[in-house]
A and B are shown apart, each in its own frame.
Chain A
Amino acid sequence: MLKIEHLTKRYGDKLAVNDLSLEIKAGEIYGFIGHNGAGKTTTIKCSCGLLEFEEGEIFVDGISIKENPIECKRRLSYLPDNPDLYDFMPGIKYLNFVADIYGMNPEERDRQIHKLADMFGITGDLAQPINSYSHGMKQKLALISAFMHKPKLVLLDEPFVGLDPVAAHRMKEEMKEACKEGASVFFSTHVLEVAEKLCDKIAIISGGRLIASGTTDEVRGNVSLEEVFLELEEKNV
C-alpha cells in the first residue's frame, strides 16, 4: 500500500532522511520509532505529499506521489502530531467539510461520523465551535476526520499524544478494525509499549537512516523493544 524507495530529503544542508526504503502492505499496522529529530515526521510528510523530496520515489497503492499527488491523497489520510483545525467551525461542520472534500455520500458520512464520534465520546460536543475544545477533543475530532472516509492508507504522526486511556484504547481498536478491512496504518510513536503490542511491523530510524525494520518479533528478538531501541541508538551514535 505504501512503498518508499530510497527516499532522501534535505533541509538546506541538513540531511533529514537519508536513502530510506520501506514497504507497508495492505492490512498491516506499521510502527515508526526514533528519537526526536530522527526524520519520522519528514518521512510521513513526504509520504502524504506535504513535502517535496529530492531523491527517491514514494508509491501509494502503486501510484507515484510525485506524478499524481491528488490520486494518492484520495487513498490516504494524514494526521500531524499537533493537529491545528479550523477553530471557527463547529466540530460537525469541520467533519462535514472534510467529507465534502472526499466526496462522501450523505448516508455514509452520517453513519461514519456518528459511529466514530460515539466511539470517542464527543457526539454531544459536535455543535460546539472547535476553539472551545480541549487538546484531547481536538485530537479525537482529527482522528475521526482521518478514519471516517475509510482511506486505504492512514498516516499518523504521534496519534496517541493528548488522548485519555479510554480514547487511546478505542483508537487502537479502530486501527485494528481498519486493517481488518484491508487498510494500512503507518504511525510514528515514542511509546514503545504501544508499538510493541499493536504493530505487525516496526521500523527504527536514527539520524535520517533506517537502522532496523521487520516484524515486531524479528526486531525485538528475545528482549523488549525498549532494550533493542536503546542498543541500536547507542551503536548508531
Chain B
Amino acid sequence: MSKTVFELVKIKLTGDISSMITFMRGRNSKGQSFNIGTAFIIAIILIAFGFMMVFSFGLAMVIGFQMGQKGCEWLFFPMAFVSSAVFSFIGTVFSAQSYLYDAKDNELLLSMPINPSDVMLSRMIALYLLNFVYTNMLFFPVGVAHGLLFGYSPLTFVYFILSALLIPMLVTSMSSFFGYLFGKLAKLIPNKNLMTVTLGFLTIAFLSYITLNFGGIMETLMNDIDKVGDWTQHHLHILYWYGLATNRLCSIKLGGLNVAFIGIIPIIVITAAAVLLAALFLSRHFTSIVTRKTAMKKKKYVRKPLKRTNIQLALIKKEVGYFFSLPSYVMNAGMSTIMALLLGVGILMRGSVIVEWLPRMFPDASTNLIGLAVGSSLALSCTLNDVTAPTISLEGKTIWILKSTPLNPMKVFFAKALLAPIVSLPGVCFTALASALTLKLKAADIMFIIFIPILACLFSGFLGVCVNLKLPRFDWTNEITVIKQSLSVIFTLLLSMFLTAIPFTLAIVPSAYLEDFSSVWAYGICIVYFFALVLLELFFLSTDGKKIWEEL
C-alpha cells in the first residue's frame, strides 16, 4: 500500500471519528462543548455493541446446540458467514455511495497529483474497516460460541480469523458495486429522493418483518435445521465445503489424507476475485463516476400569477418543503408515522382480541381502558418523531435569511414545531379511524385518541426546538450529521419519551386497579399534563428562546 493511500485512509478515519464525536458531544448556543457528552457517547456505543454481541452469542449457542443434536455442526460457520455478510451489507450499503463517490474532497484530490486508483483504494479501505466492525459485531461472538460448543483446532481458529477478515472484503466489494449501480440508476430516475426513500423504507419494512416474526423464524429454523443443512449440502456446494473446512470434526479422505481443509479455497478465490474486479473496474472509472453530473431536464418557467400567503403559513410551507427534500430526514422522522400506521393496521386486524383481552387482564378496572391504551400508544409513537430536534441546526448557512428579515422569532419557532404534528397526523388519523371502526369506542374515547397524540406531538415538536436552540450546530457539511448524530436529536428523543410516559403511567395504573377512578380523570390528567408542558415550552421560547435566537 503506497504512502499516499495510507495518508488518505488516515485523514478519512480521523475526520469521520472526530466529526462523529464532536457532533454527538454537542455545543451550547455559545459554542462551548460539553465534557459529559464524551462519556455519554462512549457509554451509548459500548451498550449498543455489548447488546449486539451478547445477543449474537446467545443466538449462536442455541442454534449451534441444535445443530450438534442433529449432526450438522458443519453448518455453523457457513450460517455465521452468510448472516454476518448480510448484516454488514445492510448496515453499510447506504454509506458506500457517500464513502466512495460523494465524498466532498474527491474533486480536490483528483486535481492533485494523486493517482485516482489510490483515492479509490483509500475509500474502499475505509469502507472495509466499517464493514469489519459490522461483521465482527456478529461473527466474533459466534466464533466464541463455536469454541465452547464444538472446541477449536488450530486450523479452525486460523480459518475463523481468516473468515473474519474475508467477510468484510466480500461485502465491501459488493456494496461498492451497489453504490456504483445506485448512482447509475439515479441518473435514469427523475426523482432520486423518492427512490432513496422507497429503498430505505423497504429495508426498514424487511427488518421490521424479521423482528416481528423472529420467534416464528427461530422455531422453524430450530425444527428444520437438518433440512437447511441438507439443502445447503446439495445446492450451495461452496458453503458446504467451507463448512467442512472450518469444522474440526469433519473429514474427507483422499488417498488416506484428510483434505477437508482445502474447502475454504473457493471462498478465498471468490472473495479475491470480487475485490479485484471491484478495485480494477471502479478505479478505472473512478474519475468519471465522481465527476458525473446528472443531466437534469430544464423545467420550463411558465409565468403564473403569484399568490400571497401569510407569513406563518409561508414559514410552515418552507419547513415542510425542506423536510421532504431530504430522504434521510424523511426516513428518520417518518418512523413515528409508520409506527402509528402499524398500530392502526394491528387494531383493524386484531381489534376484537384487544376488546376481549383488556377486561380479562384488569378485571377491577372501573373504566374503559381501551381508549387510554390506544391513545397512549399512539402518543408514545409520536414521540419517536424527532423531526424538530435538528431544525434550527439545519438552517446552517441560510440562517441569515430568517434573521435579517422582519420576522418575529416566535413565528419561526411555531413553524418548526408544527412540523411534528404535520408529519405524524396521517398515522394518528388513520389509527383513530381504525379504532372508531373496530373497538366500539365512545365519542369521548375517540376524541381522546385524536386529541392526546396531537398534543403529545406539539409537546415533542416544541421540545425539539427548545433543545436545538440550546444545542445548535451550524458547522456541518452534510445534513445527515445533524439529523442523525447531533446531541440535540438524541437528547430530545430520550427526554420526549420519558416525559410522555409519565402521565400515562399516572393515568393507566389507577384506571386499571382502582374501582372508582373514572376515565374522565385519566383523560384529564394526560390533557392537563401536556397542556402544562406546552405552555412551559412556549414560555421558554418567548423569553430565553428569543434571546438565544438573536445570539445565533
Residues of A at under 8 Å CB distance from B?
48-50, 52, 69-71, 73-74, 77-78, 80, 83-86, 88-90, 92-93, 96-106, 109-110, 113-114, 123-128, 132
Is the Cβ of B551 less than 8 Å from the Cβ of A49?
no
Is the Cβ of B325 less than 8 Å from the Cβ of A100?
no
* Cα A102 to Cα B317 with chains together (Å): 16
Residues of chain B in range 261-309 having any CB-CB distance to chain A below 8 Å: 296, 298-303, 305-309
Partner of B404, one of A73, A89, A96, A100: A73
Closest to B325 in A: A88
- The minimal Cβ–Cβ distance linking B482 to chain A, given in whole angstroms, is 15
* Cα A98 to Cα B398 with chains together (Å): 13
Is the Cβ of A78 less than 8 Å from the Cβ of B322?
no
- The minimal Cβ–Cβ distance linking B225 to chain A, given in whole angstroms, is 51
Task: Name 16 extra pairs, CB < 8 A, besides A106-B305, A128-B298.
Answer: A73-B404, A73-B405, A88-B322, A88-B326, A90-B299, A92-B301, A93-B321, A97-B314, A97-B318, A101-B314, A101-B407, A104-B308, A106-B307, A113-B306, A124-B300, A127-B301
Closest to B317 in A: A97
Given contacts A52-B550, A84-B397, contact A114 B325 (CB under 8 A): no
Is the Cβ of B306 less than 8 Å from the Cβ of A106?
yes
- List 9 A-B pairs, Cβ < 8 Å: A73-B407, A86-B321, A88-B321, A100-B310, A103-B308, A104-B308, A109-B308, A113-B306, A127-B301
Is B401 an interface position by the 8 A CB rule? yes
Partner of A86, one of B302, B310, B326, B398: B398
Closest to A103 in B: B311
Is B440 an interface position by the 8 A CB rule? no
Partner of A73, one of B300, B406, B551: B406
Is the Cβ of A80 less than 8 Å from the Cβ of B403?
no
Is the Cβ of B398 less than 8 Å from the Cβ of A84?
yes
- The minimal Cβ–Cβ distance linking A230 to chain B, given in whole angstroms, is 32
Closest to A70 in B: B406
Partner of A101, one of B305, B306, B311, B317: B311
When distances are taken between beta carbons in the complex, the residues of chain B under 8 Å from A105 are 308
Partner of A70, one of B301, B305, B308, B407: B407
When distances are taken between beta carbons in the complex, the residues of chain A under 8 Å from B314 are 97, 100-101
Closest to A92 in B: B301
Residues of chain B in range 360-383 having any CB-CB distance to chain A below 8 Å: none
The residue among B306, B321, B396, B408 with the most chain A CB atoms within 10 A of its own CB is B306
Is the Cβ of A98 less than 8 Å from the Cβ of B405?
yes
Is the Cβ of A86 less than 8 Å from the Cβ of B401?
yes
Partner of B318, one of A78, A86, A109: A86
* Cα A92 to Cα B317 with chains together (Å): 14
Is B209 an interface position by the 8 A CB rule? no
The 0/1 profile, CB within 8 Å of A marked 1, for residues 187-218 of chain B is 00000000000000000000000000000000
* Cα A74 to Cα B398 with chains together (Å): 19
Given contacts A73-B406, A88-B322, A103-B311, contact A50 B400 (CB under 8 A): yes
Is the Cβ of B322 less than 8 Å from the Cβ of A86?
yes
* Cα A48 to Cα B405 with chains together (Å): 9
When distances are taken between beta carbons in the complex, the residues of chain B under 8 Å from A83 are 400
- The minimal Cβ–Cβ distance linking B38 to chain A, given in whole angstroms, is 24
* Cα A90 to Cα B404 with chains together (Å): 21
Is the Cβ of A127 less than 8 Å from the Cβ of B322?
no
Given contacts A70-B407, A110-B305, A124-B301, contact A100 B311 (CB under 8 A): yes
* Cα A124 to Cα B303 with chains together (Å): 10
* Cα A97 to Cα B318 with chains together (Å): 8
When distances are taken between beta carbons in the complex, the residues of chain A under 8 Å from B302 are 127
Closest to A117 in B: B301
* Cα A192 to Cα B321 with chains together (Å): 41
Given contacts A85-B398, A125-B301, A127-B302, contact A106 B407 (CB under 8 A): no
Is the Cβ of B551 less than 8 Å from the Cβ of A74?
no
Partner of A85, one of B305, B306, B401, B403: B401
The 0/1 profile, CB within 8 Å of A marked 1, for residues 473-496 of chain B is 000000000000000000000000
Given contacts A70-B407, A84-B397, contact A100 B309 (CB under 8 A): yes
* Cα A109 to Cα B304 with chains together (Å): 12
When distances are taken between beta carbons in the complex, the residues of chain A under 8 Å from B326 are 88
When distances are taken between beta carbons in the complex, the residues of chain B under 8 Å from A104 are 308
* Cα A9 to Cα B154 with chains together (Å): 71
* Cα A93 to Cα B308 with chains together (Å): 11
Given contacts A49-B403, A52-B551, A101-B314, contact A96 B298 (CB under 8 A): no
When distances are taken between beta carbons in the complex, the residues of chain A under 8 Å from B306 are 92, 96, 99, 106, 109-110, 113
Closest to B409 in A: A70
* Cα A86 to Cα B309 with chains together (Å): 18
* Cα A214 to Cα B303 with chains together (Å): 45
Is the Cβ of A102 less than 8 Å from the Cβ of B405?
yes
* Cα A85 to Cα B318 with chains together (Å): 12
Partner of A128, one of B299, B317, B397: B299
Residues of chain B in range 389-403 having any CB-CB distance to chain A below 8 Å: 396-398, 400-401, 403
Is the Cβ of A78 less than 8 Å from the Cβ of B404?
yes
Closest to A48 in B: B404
When distances are taken between beta carbons in the complex, the residues of chain A under 8 Å from B405 are 73, 98, 101-102
When distances are taken between beta carbons in the complex, the residues of chain A under 8 Å from B317 are 97
Is the Cβ of B310 less than 8 Å from the Cβ of A114?
no
When distances are taken between beta carbons in the complex, the residues of chain B under 8 Å from A69 are 550
- The minimal Cβ–Cβ distance linking B326 to chain A, given in whole angstroms, is 8
Is the Cβ of A78 less than 8 Å from the Cβ of B301?
no
Is the Cβ of A49 less than 8 Å from the Cβ of B404?
yes
Closest to B314 in A: A100
Given contacts A73-B406, A97-B314, A102-B406, contact A114 B303 (CB under 8 A): yes
Name the 10 nearest CB pairs between A and B, nearest first. A88-B325, A100-B314, A84-B397, A73-B406, A127-B301, A127-B299, A78-B404, A74-B406, A126-B301, A70-B406
- The minimal Cβ–Cβ distance linking A59 to chain B, given in whole angstroms, is 16
Is the Cβ of B296 less than 8 Å from the Cβ of A132?
yes
When distances are taken between beta carbons in the complex, the residues of chain B under 8 Å from A123 are 301
Is the Cβ of A100 less than 8 Å from the Cβ of B401?
no
Partner of A50, one of B296, B311, B403: B403
* Cα A98 to Cα B405 with chains together (Å): 8
When distances are taken between beta carbons in the complex, the residues of chain A under 8 Å from B322 are 86, 88
Is the Cβ of A106 less than 8 Å from the Cβ of B308?
yes
Is the Cβ of B404 less than 8 Å from the Cβ of A127?
no
Is the Cβ of A50 less than 8 Å from the Cβ of B404?
yes
When distances are taken between beta carbons in the complex, the residues of chain A under 8 Å from B408 are 70
The residue among B298, B307, B318, B326 with the most chain A CB atoms within 10 A of its own CB is B318
* Cα A74 to Cα B401 with chains together (Å): 13
When distances are taken between beta carbons in the complex, the residues of chain B under 8 Å from A74 are 406
When distances are taken between beta carbons in the complex, the residues of chain A under 8 Å from B397 are 84
- The minimal Cβ–Cβ distance linking B207 to chain A, given in whole angstroms, is 28
* Cα A136 to Cα B403 with chains together (Å): 23
* Cα A90 to Cα B315 with chains together (Å): 15
The 0/1 profile, CB within 8 Å of A marked 1, for residues 165-184 of chain B is 00000000000000000000
When distances are taken between beta carbons in the complex, the residues of chain B under 8 Å from A70 are 406-408
* Cα A89 to Cα B325 with chains together (Å): 9
